[in-house]
Amino acid sequence: MSPAPFRSVISLACALVCVLTAAAAQAQTPAAPAAPPSWQQGRNAEQEKSPLHPFAIEVTGKSAKELPVDKLKVPEGFKVEVWADGLPGARSMALGSKGTVFVGTRQLKDVYAVVDRGGKREVKTLLKGLESPNGVAFSRGTLYVAEHHRITRYDGIESRLDNPPEAKVVVEGLDPQNQPGHFWKFLALGPDGKLYYNVGAPGNIVMPAYFQASISRVDPRTGIIENYAQGVRNSVGFDWHPQTKQLWFTNHGRDWLGDESPNDTLHVATRKGQNFGYPYCHQGDTLDPEFGKNRSCSEFTPPALKLGAHIAPIGMRFYTGKMFPAEYQNNIFIAMRGSWNRSIKQGYNVTRVIFDAEGKPKMEPFLTGFLVDEKADPPMWGRPNDVMVMHDGSLLVSDDQNGIIYRVSYGTK
């Protein structure tokens, strides 16, 4: 084992699981000597020579002063500005009832709290030394944090920002094998008072264990877990429709099937227990070349909207604020953090999803300007990660590449 890596690089458990699953699926190819990083898994021999690679974040953050933030664009009447910087790795956001913005990280070990003091933002490192604390949620005075392996609670947090209480465990043992894969978690509180979180797939394209490639929920009062949705490769953003109260979520499709395939997707779960296709069927209509043999896409619930191949949709929220024009009510904003797994890059924006009279969703770019050159390496200078509606109706956008939060407002405010 490596001494103290950001994540245990190649645990024996994974070497076993990945090799076994790969072998089961592809008995004709010899088993690899060790599990490759999960982003490389599923490449064919020719793709091993591909120069495509995920982009690493700036772990020390970047000051907004060094970045072309003046290149950011929003529609007429809107304004975008830097709200706070100095939050390396800033990802999921949650809003406290007194206005504190809580921010989780994935490749760091910190959770931040940002407080507005008379128009100036103060950034505090609230919690340290956590395991990939990507998920944050707030309810009735309590901050919930989802790490790799557990969900914890910090009661009365907003009055204790300088001396946070000890973590109380809601549930643990969520990552029993401590293997590489999509195991950082998004966390949100459902209308039923339960905490919803994802457990992604252990690799790019592998057979998941029963608790993986799913969205689950846990009752914070009892610690009882239920599997809510299956066949979800990796969803790191979800929200409930303000009227129907149905769960909507974004999902990342598999890599290494080409520039245009498959799409990343937006889904709605109309009830508990639906299966959305992974690893058999992608984007509702495309069978996986390996796992899809002898299966049919009609077994699975199709997506509500195809978002673009490899575009990496992360955070998504319904707009319920009072600030934006009326036609934005109940629209969805999605933060697109990719793409890397295509030769011509796309995305790196915040996208608006609008519903037409029949309730059919369509999308258009809302906040753009991060993508500079779709053929360059890197193609972008920043990556939207999560979106969150503030009490005043403005929209915050986190950028984990640089550790910056932007604010989009409308009108003169």
Partner 1 sequence: MNGNCGAAAMFAAALCFSLHGAAGEEVPRNAQTCVACHGPGGNSTDPAMPSLAGQPAQFISLQLFMFREGNRKDPQMSPIASSLSNADMNELAAYFSRQKPAAASHETTSENAAAGRRLAEQHHCVQCHGPALLGLQHIPRLAGQQFAYLRAQLRGFKARTRADFDGNMTSAAELLSEKDVEILADYLSGLTPRRD
Q: Write out the residues near partner 1 by the rule CB under 8 A.
A: 1-7, 9-10, 33-37, 40, 48-51, 53-56, 58-63, 86, 88, 107, 109, 180, 377-378
> 368 has which bridge partners?
73
Shortest reach from residue 49's CB to partner 1, in Å: 6
Shortest reach from residue 7's CB to partner 1, in Å: 7
Choose between 54 and 393: whose C-beta lies nearer to partner 1: 54
Q: Is 187 helix (H, G, I), strand (E, B) or coil?
A: strand
- Residues counted in the chain: 413
208: CB partners within 8 A, 6+ apart: 201, 202, 214, 278, 279
> 139 has which bridge partners?
142
Q: How far apart are CA 27 and CA 32, in angstroms?
A: 12
Q: How many CB atoms lie within 10 A of CB 134?
A: 30
Closest CA to 288 of 98, 32, 26: 26
Q: Is 340 helix (H, G, I), strand (E, B) or coil?
A: coil
Choose between 7 and 194: whose C-beta lies nearer to partner 1: 7
Shortest reach from residue 329's CB to partner 1, in Å: 40
**Residue 43, CA atoms < 13 Å, CB-side half-sphere:** 18
Choose between 54 and 75: whose C-beta lies nearer to partner 1: 54
Shortest reach from residue 195's CB to partner 1, in Å: 29
- Cis bond before residue 339 (omega within 30° of 0): yes
Shortest reach from residue 348's CB to partner 1, in Å: 15
Shortest reach from residue 8's CB to partner 1, in Å: 9
Choose between 52 and 174: whose C-beta lies nearer to partner 1: 52
Shortest reach from residue 277's CB to partner 1, in Å: 27
Choose between 63 and 222: whose C-beta lies nearer to partner 1: 63
Q: Are 313 and 263 in contact (CB under 8 A)?
A: no
- Cis bond before residue 220 (omega within 30° of 0): no
Q: In what side-by-side order are the strands of the sheet with 214-218? A: 187-189, 195-199, 214-218, 225-230, 274-275
Shortest reach from residue 55's CB to partner 1, in Å: 7
Choose between 48 and 166: whose C-beta lies nearer to partner 1: 48
Choose between 7 and 91: whose C-beta lies nearer to partner 1: 7
**Torsion angles phi and psi, residue 12, rounded to 5:** -60, -40
Choose between 88 and 202: whose C-beta lies nearer to partner 1: 88
Choose between 39 and 355: whose C-beta lies nearer to partner 1: 39
Shortest reach from residue 147's CB to partner 1, in Å: 17
Q: How far apart are CA 80 and CA 270, in angstroms?
A: 35
Closest CA to 87 of 401, 409, 408: 401
